[in-house]
């Protein structure tokens, strides 16, 4: 399973009038960080609104010598094509990206035709209804360190969103077993049972058992996969 976590920064909020000035992508393969990423600052060929500059701190002077979107369009399309594209508040970024590609050639169509788009904001609102679900709020709630985020930045925000996404969908990022190269690569997990004799017996209540069952059900629903189901546990969960 290949996923790409994507974020953009723009000259303003309206895709009809504004342009992308930064794009950042982080690749996940089988829920692990690969070494691949894509990051570009982009000359928008127009002025950045003061309100937008206050959010991301990028000035027009910073972009004067940067490539135009046309110069990075093919590289970006190749990077995201065929992946599950994870975006926080996807309609915003997708709207800007679609506008940029249509400006180059209407035949480009929509990025939704090249990649499966998953909106992490929609998922967060389902998980935490009635609560703040901004990236900062989710970082705080899920224990993701965002202390370096004084301003928005596409690559930084993509990395934070990737951490949030992995936690939001069950936290099964790595198992701490050197023999397992990914969550779905279960070779070597047969040895996990060997640790059972070293663990203390703990009495738990039926309420705790039910909470455990509900947690596993949530992982299965959101991630489509649960490590617990693979290790031969005798739990009734």
Give the angle subtended at the CA of 145 by the CAs of 141 and 150, to the nearest 5°. Answer: 105
Cα 55 from chain centroid?
A: 20
> Phi/psi of residue 32, each to 5°?
-125, 145
Burial class (CB in 10 A: 0-12, 13-18, 19+), 30: middle
Q: Which of 39, 40, 152, 212 is catalytic?
A: 152
Could you confirm whether 152 is annotated as catalytic?
yes
d(CA 20, CA 9): 6
Which pair of tokens denotes residue 5? 């976590």
**Phi-psi map region of 46: left, alpha, beta (phi>0 left; psi -120 to 50 alpha):** beta
Which pair of tokens denotes residue 65? 């010598």
Burial class (CB in 10 A: 0-12, 13-18, 19+), 51: exposed
Give catalytic residues, as residue numbers.
Answer: 152
């Amino acid at each position: 399973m290949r996923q790409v976590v994507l974020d953009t920064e723009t000259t303003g909020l309206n895709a009809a009038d504004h342009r992308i000035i930064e794009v950042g992508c982080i690749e996940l393969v089988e829920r692990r960080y690969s070494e691949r990423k894509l990051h570009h600052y982009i000359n928008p060929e127009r002025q950045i609104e003061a309100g937008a500059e206050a959010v991301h701190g990028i000035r027009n002077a910073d972009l004067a010598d940067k490539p135009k979107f046309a110069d990075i369009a093919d590289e970006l399309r190749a990077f995201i094509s065929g992946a599950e594209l994870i975006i926080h508040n996807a309609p915003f970024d997708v709207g800007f990206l679609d506008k940029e590609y249509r400006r180059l050639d209407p035949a480009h169509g929509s990025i939704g035709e090249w990649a499966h788009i998953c909106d992490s904001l929609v998922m967060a609102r389902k998980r935490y209804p009635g609560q703040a679900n901004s990236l900062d709020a989710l970082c705080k709630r899920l224990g993701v360190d965002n202390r370096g985020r004084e301003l928005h930045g596409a690559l930084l925000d993509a990395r934070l969103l990737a951490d949030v996404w992995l936690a939001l969908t069950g936290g099964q990022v790595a198992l701490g077993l050197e023999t397992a190269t990914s969550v779905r690569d279960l070779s070597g997990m047969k040895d996990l049972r060997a640790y059972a004799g070293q663990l203390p017996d703990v009495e738990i209540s039926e309420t705790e058992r039910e909470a455990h069952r509900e947690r596993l059900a949530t992982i299965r629903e959101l991630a489509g996969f649960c490590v617990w189901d693979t290790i031969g546990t005798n739990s009734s969960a």
